[in-house]
Structure 1
Amino acid sequence: MKIAVYCRVSTDKEEQKSSLKHQKEYLKSLYPNDEVTIFYDEGQTGTNIRRRKGFQEMLVACGLKKVYTTKTKFVFELDEYRKSKFDKIVTKSITRFARNTEAVTIWRLLEQKGVSIFFQDINKDTASSEDSLLLKLLLTLSEEESRNISERTKWGNQASAKANKIRNNELYGYEFNRETNSLIAIEKEAEVVRLMFKLCIEGNGYRIISSKLTEMNVLNRKGKPFSASTIKNMLHNKKYCGFNVRGQWQSVGLFTEDHTYKRTKKEEWIVQKNDRIDPIISEDTFEKAHKVINERLLHGNKGKNISKRDTQGKIICAKCGKSYYICHSKSLGSAVNTNPYYICATKKNKGKAVCNAENLSLKQVENYLEELRVHYYDNVELRNKIKIQQLKDELSRITNATDQEVLSKIDDNNLAINIRQETIAQLLDKFLSNATESTKKLVEKKICIIEEEISKLEADNSALDELLSNREAEKNKIKQKIQLLEKELLVNHDELTRVELMNRLVAIEVHSKKVLVPTWKI
């Protein structure tokens, strides 16, 4: 049997990395005589599938594919051209697999590919119909647990912010004293902080300050140069003049694929003078630095987008999922860099430590897009030919299908509907009689899901009834689709313009300078 083992830990802390190692070793030891492949993710939560590259890689290997619905959002669907490389997925627990109920959709897709999932800690397997029902309920409970933890954490953060409590964020220039909840200045590092503010007041931009510090061999705690984004964050941190600022960021869409953090309005921040923070600079120095920064913004010198281009939002970092944008660097009074480049938004704003994606020159991107434009029809020709053949097979099936075959399919659907209706009855009998209110709500959610499945089967039956009564109309629809695809195959390559190319292009995923992967609209 070919088995995919999936492991995950939520943080990059050493104890979590040790947990990941143990997960791998233990799960692999359970199948000494089988062909085992390990997939894993470090520092990622179960609520966001988009950031879990190992999880995505495993699903693709199991015969699924990513289909982009927008420039950055995607869903998983069946890949009709590929078979699964694995028979079973094994993971430690249901929370290691996914907490989001969207996982149920992935679960069903895997079932269609003949792939079952085994959860080791509770000894349950989706291959078993009895286990399957229980697992779906547990998955719903798992998400509810995450939501409750999130709410408790949010409340705790708000309470500690109002109490003027300092969070241990290992801020450069300070040593955090946990017992007294205070930040004590480290004089050697404090000198570097003062130098940054001095260079800023003199009119230097973040990148210029970074270059000057590197030339002076002034490095961060890890012995590496200060990135421009790190310097930006430090110059905006009011702790350096003795203030504690909380509530600047808010978690948005925790249980969706769009989970992110957004900056709150300034009036919502909790800004308090704190005598447990040693001021490294004066309030006057902080204000002078920000006056210069605001003047730079006022003059349009943002070190950001040169102009809005048709590539905006279409070049995506494969490492963090954020967009690339065109950037340039200059200090006040200098000329604009004549060699603009694309940089990952995360790398630009948070530094290489968070995302070390490679930059791309404007020339490289333009050459790549031109290559895509020139060879577009060569690349899609095979895909269209396969689609045409599938449609012809479907047309043949409809043409040759007897009324008896269609009626047999309707009978199969009716049987599936009856099974689901029996499942609903079992749920009502077993769980709703003496269950708690929270359990009742979970069961009601499960019943809603089954009712949706029944609705889809009934809709399928309606389509089959329509086929029986209006077979010719259905055949004409398929013929029209075939004609459109065949017409596209006849279009001259030179007729595809840059505008047409960008309209058909969903995104370019950047894995490295040499590995760019385009995704097209279907």
Structure 2
Amino acid sequence: MTKRCAVYVRVSTDKEEQKKSLINQREIFENYIANRGWDLFKIYSDVQSGTKATKRPGFQQMLRDAKSHKFDIILAKELSRLARNGELSYRVLNSLQENSGIDIITLDGAINSLENQTSMFGLYAWVYENESQTMSRRIKYSFEVKARNGEFNGSIPPYGYTIVDKQLVLRNDFTVEVVQRIFKCYIAGQGFDHIARQLLKEKIPTSSQVAHKKNASSIWHGSTIKGILSNEHYIGNLVQQRETSISVTSTKRKKNVPDNVIRVEGTHEAIISKQNFDLVQQLLVQRSREHAHSKYHLFTSIAFCSDCGRGMHYKKNRKGYVCGSFDKHGHTLCSDHIIRESDLVDVITSDIKGLYTRISSKKFRDILDKRLQASESKRLKQIQQLKNKIETLSKEKNEALRLKIRSEITDEAYQDLVDENNTNISRFIATKEELENGSTNQVNEQQLNELFREIEHFIKHPTLNEEMLHRLIKKIEIKKDGSPRIYYRFSDPHLSFIFFQATHNIQRASSVGTYRLAAPFSLDTRLR
């Protein structure tokens, strides 16, 4: 999100030459804000000869607006414009940063809290912070260097690893297999608490027990399982500096911005393959959207009502699934959307077998390669077009800011343009990032072969268990008449689209009325 900047300008007397200084100060900030792509929220100004803050209405209004989170940054020419005779004390600065989340920048270099440069903030700041900040910077820099060199900075390694010469090394015991088991069980459909209960039942030592912590607990918790499943260390990557302290005098911490998180790939031996790890991350997001039902069945957490979006609940007496809203509230909220489990299994099995027949040919591979190339060319063209649009809108904002500073347009006209452009820029950036993340260059021979192996494995062993189901299918929507729309899971959205284009839109009939295979431009490939 674009940062909103409040500007404070001040002159010491009401003499004519000092009033002119207000105009000069306003112009100083023009390029500073424009060059950084920020938005000007408001210019607060005071003309007075006293030093007390109570005589500065502009300054007081700025502080009130800061508490209301109306802007993100306070910008002034010099520290003296904000603080004289201890007026803006260290405590005020600390309060603005911690409680309101407001950064302060002065152009004389005295303070830039956005970049943690506050060592010159007056006598009080120097006394209370200078030494601590210097030490803090040295320590942080030392940790940063070690992290970038692939050294593990923590004292307790992830479950399954030990520390040898500041490197993560696989433990030579049961813990590695436990981690692999946790991932496998989750892919197979088991929840956090269920996995934790099984490990507790088998008396598997916990992380705290393996680390020999004092008062270590022998109880596995669902939150521990979730932490293991989302830990990137298990694919061989070292990820550190995820958090940072708000200030040297505070125990409060905040999440580091993504650019400051240090990620070094391939620093140690992986326990989990990247493919399985990525699959689990997708499942974590998917399952978080729907509360687990009391008991898992084959399509629990993957089958949803197409009308209300609730998960489908298995009903033993009907040998199938009904809409969760209907199951809980009856026809008041939704209809039953009933589908038999055996019918759904038959549909999926038939679809995969039919698909395998089509893709097992050289002709299919040739068609797929051509369409991948065409899609990649189109994707790159769209990305460049979006970049051009973003650049044009940013220039319009900068030009509007210059006009506002010179009083050539009204505040209302400026704000309307900025709001509209920010909305469009955010939309274009989101689309661009989606296109960039979906690069067909990533769709290589290895990925294709992995996909074919998954399908071939099912053909040789045509038993649709939970693990195979989650590997092949992202989700299933059940329509009112009980017909399913199946979203097949593939590693890349462009591959998903082009892959099914190359199968020439397979058509098939079914007793439960499934839809024809089609391929919209999305992450999902639907049976229509």
Question: What TM-score comes out, normalization by structure 2 length?
Answer: 0.29
Larger radius of gyration: 2
TM-score by length of 1: 0.29
